[in-house]
């Protein structure tokens, strides 16, 4: 599943490719992937100018003018792709947005259909979208805000994964940030020391920024907007041991063994949300 660094990488690429484009037409091949605003999208998307592409948590936000917004969540297998307009539409490409005087068009592809699109037409309509509110963004959250959130009596990893508490954290990067801060994922958040809170704050931002700089991290067949695998394994120390191939486990992008967490030393601890990987 794409996490914050992957989505941030995609957003930066799409913003460069789509900013200033005007929608010529939209083709919806599976209506159910439009989670909100199906009729409005088909009636009102045409003729709008794309003002920019932004990220909120793990959501992709396409801002339009006259005022409207198209929100995308990629789910497990979703992709927003720029595809040559002349190419045949694949069976898993459910929505195609054609652009005026552009050789490429934007397509939403999602074989498993856990992702989706939400459309709001008109200024101020975005608040009406049936989307759960997000907590402060993990990439920019400040220490005092994080400290206040961590006062809750919840296991630290489960709390970090709660998008309404902190927006954007996913399973891989929770494991990585906690590993770097030397915090066990089942520790109660309210029991962390001040030193641990400060270390976690640094390592949440540091882990995410390092992965964004490397183009993201993926242990699956994820692809970026233009097709090739832009996203690479970038040396995640703890979760590298989750790689499918035993030859790859515990190895970074340069294929050298990771001294901090040998695969044989990684254990799985069950928390209230997702499996947590720890190196005793």
Round to whole Å and give the CA distance between 280 and 210.
Answer: 24
For the chain, helix, strand, coil in percent to 5 are: 30, 25, 45
Question: Can you say whether the dihedral through the CA atoms of 35, 40, 44, 49 is positive or negative?
Answer: negative
Q: How far apart are CA 179 and CA 175, in angstroms?
A: 6
Round to whole Å and give the CA distance between 126 and 129. Answer: 6
Nearest to 99 by CA among 34, 18, 29, 33: 18
Contact indicator for 139, 170 with CB cutoff of 8 Å: no
Point out the catalytic residue in the list 59, 63, 242, 251.
251
Q: What is the CA radius of gyration of the chain?
A: 20
191 has catalytic annotation = no
DSSP string covering 18-30, please? HTT-BEEEEEES-
3-state secondary structure 94-110: EEEEEECCCCEEEEEEC
- Cβ-based burial of 56 (10 A; exposed 0-12, middle 13-18, buried ≥19): middle
Give the active site residue among 3, 8, 51, 176.
Answer: 3
Look up 251 and say whether it is catalytic: yes
Q: Is 58 a catalytic residue?
A: yes
Known catalytic residue at 30: no
**Of 218, 258, 216, nearest to 238 (Cα)?**
258
From the candidates 48, 51, 55, 58, give the one annotated as an active-site residue.
58
Active-site pick, 2, 5, 185, 225? 2
CA distance linking residue 255 with residue 95, whole number of Å:
38
- Residues identified as active-site: 2-3, 58, 251
């Amino acid at each position: 599943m794409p996490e914050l660094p992957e989505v941030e990488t995609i957003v930066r690429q799409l913003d460069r490719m789509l900013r200033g484009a005007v929608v010529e037409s939209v083709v919806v091949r599976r209506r159910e992937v439009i989670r909100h605003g199906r009729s409005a999208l088909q009636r009102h998307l045409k003729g709008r100018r794309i003002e920019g592409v932004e990220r909120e948590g793990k959501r992709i936000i396409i801002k339009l003018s006259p005022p409207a917004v198209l929100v995308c969540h990629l789910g497990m297998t979703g992709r927003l792709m720029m595809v040559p307009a002349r190419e045949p539409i694949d069976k898993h490409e459910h929505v195609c947005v054609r652009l005026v005087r552009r050789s490429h068009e934007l397509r939403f592809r999602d074989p498993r259909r856990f992702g989706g699109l939400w459309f709001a037409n008109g200024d101020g309509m975005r608040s009406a979208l049936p989307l759960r509110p997000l907590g402060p963004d993990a990439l920019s959250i400040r220490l005092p805000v994080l400290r206040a959130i961590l006062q809750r009596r919840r296991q630290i990893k489960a709390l970090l994964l709660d998008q309404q508490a902190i927006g954007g954290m996913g399973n891989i990067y929770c494991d990585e940030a906690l590993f770097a801060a030397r915090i066990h994922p089942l520790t109660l958040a309210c029991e962390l020391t001040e030193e641990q809170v400060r270390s976690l704050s640094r390592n949440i931002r540091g882990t995410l920024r390092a992965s964004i700089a490397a183009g993201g991290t993926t242990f699956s067949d994820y692809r970026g907007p233009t097709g090739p695998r832009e996203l690479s394994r970038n040396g995640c120390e703890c979760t590298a041991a989750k790689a499918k191939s035993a030859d790859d486990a515990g190895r970074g992008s340069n294929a050298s063994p990771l001294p901090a967490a040998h695969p044989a030393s990684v254990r799985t601890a069950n928390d209230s949300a997702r499996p947590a990987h720890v190196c005793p």
